[in-house]
Amino acid sequence: MTALIQRLPPPPLGVVWGLLLINGLLIALMLALSKVATAQGMPATTYAFWQTLIAGLILLVRAVPIRAMVEKRLMVYFFISGLTGIAIPNVTAFYLVAKLGTGFTGIMYALPPIFTFLMATSMGLEQRNWRRLSGLSIAVLACGWIILQRHANMGQSEPLWYALGLLIPSMLSVGNIYRAVAWPSRATPMTLAAGTLLASAAALALFAQLTGTPLIARDASPNLLTILAVQGVLTALAYLCAFEIQKRATPVFFSQLGAVAAVFGLIIGVAWFKEQYSLTIWLGVLLVILGLRMSNRQRAVDQCP
């Protein structure tokens, strides 16, 4: 693992919170579009492949010259970042969602703040702070409550599948830590986002080949292709924001992205899909906000040592 990046001076709190909120909104929009696309028959793996490939190519246009991106140190970073942050969690989720349902899978995506905090404190990247741990726990439990309320009929299956589900938050947390501490010197967020997305697309293409999933949908409608193009643009913006956050803040701060995206997901559900939620779900939203507020009350965006 390379040396810690020489980071910028801590930016104003509003900057990183603004990036986190924008990133959460973009992810919620991406999930809404994927719901529309997969409902029209496109396999999830195919959709994820084109989503990451288009986004990576968009960012590649503004990244460093391709010759510079094939350096060994960057290729290793792209590979590990793409596998831990995108490919492995997504492939695991695609596999488990049919066995365990969307409710359990969604809960796994809400757990990274706790996993990341525990990893960061054990490595000395974060100070042990019970207030922060309590706030993160409240936000994560509230996210789990929201998901359970929306998906009450979670499937019954073998305990092994539930244990496998822990691979999702584990890999996401490893990715959060790795991207922060192994940040290549003089590399820009644009370059790292582009390389990570393209590495993930390559891994998803390999997974599709192994599982016999077609990467080209011959009966794709113009509307579906439009959705895919928009998704590519949103994904490019989302990952650019994500790497900008990781350049400025700690891995634990970044890991709260899932909770922010969950709140925006509910808002989009009401505004776009005309969904209706019970009072208990909105109480869960309030607890998420209070938990995030509590966890960031002190040293919200302190940099890694």
How far apart, in whole angstroms, are the C-alpha atoms of residue 194 and residue 58? 8
At residue 130, the 3 state secondary structure works out as helix
CA 205 to chain centroid, in Å, comes to: 19
- Residue 104: the pLDDT is 64
Q: Do 79 and 206 contact (CB within 8 A), yes or no?
A: no
- Residue 64: the pLDDT is 72
- Residue 297: the pLDDT is 66
Q: Which are the contacts of 6, defined by CB distance < 8 A and separation ≥ 6?
A: 185
CA 252 to chain centroid, in Å, comes to: 13
Q: CA dist 237 to 45, 218, 244, Å?
A: 21, 28, 11
Q: How many CB atoms lie within 10 A of CB 156?
A: 7
- Residue 237: the pLDDT is 96
Q: CA dist 167 to 27, 100, 129, 156, 174, Å?
A: 21, 14, 25, 19, 10
| Token reading at 60 | 């590649």
How far apart, in whole angstroms, are the C-alpha atoms of residue 115 and residue 287? 19
Q: Which are the contacts of 108, defined by CB distance < 8 A and separation ≥ 6?
A: 93, 165, 166, 168, 169
How far apart, in whole angstroms, are the C-alpha atoms of residue 196 and residue 216? 22
How far apart, in whole angstroms, are the C-alpha atoms of residue 87 and residue 80? 10
- Residue 10: the pLDDT is 47
- Residue 155: the pLDDT is 53
- pLDDT by 10s per residue, the chain, length 305: 434 434 444 456 788 999 999 999 998 898 888 878 878 888 888 888 999 999 999 999 888 777 778 788 899 999 999 999 988 988 888 777 667 666 666 677 778 888 898 888 888 887 878 888 888 888 888 888 877 776 665 555 567 777 888 898 899 999 999 998 999 988 889 999 999 999 999 999 999 999 898 998 777 788 889 999 999 999 999 999 999 999 888 898 898 888 888 888 888 888 887 878 788 888 888 888 888 888 776 544 444 43
- Residue 57: the pLDDT is 95
- Residue 294: the pLDDT is 83
- Residue 98: the pLDDT is 62
- Please report how the helices 88-110 and 44-62 are oriented relative to each other, as an axis angle in degrees rounded to 10: 100
Nearest to 257, CA basis, from 176, 142, 185, 200: 176
pTM: 0.82
Q: 205-216: b or e for each residue (b if 16 or more CB lie within 10 Å)?
A: bebbeeeebeee
In the DSSP assignment, the letter for residue 188 is: -
How far apart, in whole angstroms, are the C-alpha atoms of residue 35 and residue 220? 15
Question: What is the gyration radius of the CA atoms in the chain, in angstroms?
Answer: 19
Q: Do 250 and 25 contact (CB within 8 A), yes or no?
A: no
- Residue 235: the pLDDT is 94
